[in-house]
């Protein structure tokens, strides 16, 4: 299985518009972060997680020309608003692209992209088949990849993370119940959000993310959804234990 980080930044990305901090002015490519997304591949199956506003650029940069399904974590714009950019993938496959996510998320998507659904379909747009799942949905297969939904709290908003075999991907978490944490046992790799150093109402801080990785006993952890307030990639890396790493755009993990 292979996981590719398409974007590792928070909702504003890095550099942040109008900011002259050292991180935003950095010439280190690892400090340039598009909005959060990953693609999971195994054999001939590819699953895209989230379709943020940078999706077109991410598809081009990573030479992605097809996906077998899209998984949504939640409905905030930095995770869904690039959905229209799946059109080339739809035209290439000549069939509807399945999407998986909370019913609430799909309802929001149908409002924001009403021209893609029902009797109002606009000629030339992509077509998707929506599949509603939740934190109680049993593990299921999408072709060659086994998927387990993980219930996560993003402030007061219930959202989803996902487990794929011995790899888990969770973003925008501020808390996870004991019931859902039990689904994260025996992980080789966990990807978890770490927004900033100061306490935040809807995202893990750096310390909280490190504590979470250690608590669930994952062998290796990767931090994503970082803001410019966190500091530079290199500086953060120096602070972390050996089994925890700062993810960056374009990083590929093979398991």
Q: Which residue has the higher pLDDT, 123 or 83?
A: 83
pLDDT computed for residue 122 by the predictor: 78
Instruction: State the DSSP code for 217.
Output: T
CATH for 2-254 is 3.60.15.10
Phi, psi of 182 (to 5 degrees): -60, -25
Q: What share of the chain is helix, strand, coil (3-state, %, to 5)?
A: 25, 30, 40
18: its two tokens: 């109008």
pLDDT band at 39 (very low <50, low <70, confident <90, very high): very high
pTM of the model: 0.97
Q: How big is the chain, counted in residues?
A: 255
Percentage of the chain lying above the pLDDT 90 cut: 96
SS3 108: helix
Helix ranges (DSSP H) in 160-218: 178-181, 206-216
User: How far apart are the C-alpha atoms of 119 and 116, rounded to whole Å?
Assistant: 9
pLDDT at 118 over 90: no
Q: What is the tens place of the pLDDT at every residue in 139-158?
A: 999 999 999 999 999 999 99
Q: Where are the domains of the chain?
A: 2-254
Q: Can you tell me the mean pLDDT for 111-139? A: 91
Cβ contact 222:189 at 8 Å: yes
pLDDT computed for residue 123 by the predictor: 79
Q: Can you tell me the mean pLDDT for 6-31? A: 98
Q: What is the tens place of the pLDDT at every residue in 42-100?
A: 999 999 999 999 999 999 999 999 999 999 999 999 999 999 999 999 999 989 999 99
Cβ contact 133:149 at 8 Å: yes
pLDDT computed for residue 237 by the predictor: 98
pLDDT computed for residue 47 by the predictor: 99
The chain-wide mean pLDDT, for the chain, equals 97
pLDDT computed for residue 119 by the predictor: 77
Q: What is the dihedral of CA 67, 45, 140, 248, to 10 degrees?
A: -70
Instruction: State the DSSP code for 194.
Output: -
């Amino acid at each position: 299985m292979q996981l590719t980080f398409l974007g590792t930044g928070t909702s504003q990305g890095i550099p942040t518009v109008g900011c002259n901090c050292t991180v935003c002015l950095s010439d280190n490519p690892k400090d340039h972060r598009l909005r959060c997304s990953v693609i999971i591949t195994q054999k001939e199956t590819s699953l895209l997680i989230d379709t943020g506003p940078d999706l077109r650029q991410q598809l081009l940069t990573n030479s992605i020309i097809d996906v077998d399904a899209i998984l949504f974590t939640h409905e905030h714009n930095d995770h869904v608003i690039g959905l229209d950019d799946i059109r080339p993938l739809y035209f290439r496959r000549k069939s509807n692209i399945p999407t998986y996510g909370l019913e609430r998320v799909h309802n929001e998507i149908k409002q924001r992209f009403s021209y893609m659904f029902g009797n109002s379909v606009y000629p030339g747009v992509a077509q998707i088949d929506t599949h509603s799942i939740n934190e109680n949905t049993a593990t299921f297969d999408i072709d060659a990849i086994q998927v387990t939904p993980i219930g996560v709290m993003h402030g007061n908003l219930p959202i989803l993370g996902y487990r794929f075999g011995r790899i888990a991907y969770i973003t925008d978490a501020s808390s996870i119940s004991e019931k859902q944490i039990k689904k994260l046992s025996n992980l080789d790799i966990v990807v978890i959000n770490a927004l900033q150093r100061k306490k935040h109402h809807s995202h893990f801080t750096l310390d909280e993310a490190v504590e979470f990785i250690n608590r669930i006993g994952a062998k290796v952890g990767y931090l994503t959804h970082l803001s410019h307030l966190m500091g530079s990639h290199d500086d953060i890396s120096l602070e972390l234990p050996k089994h925890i790493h700062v993810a960056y755009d374009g990083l590929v993990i093979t398991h």
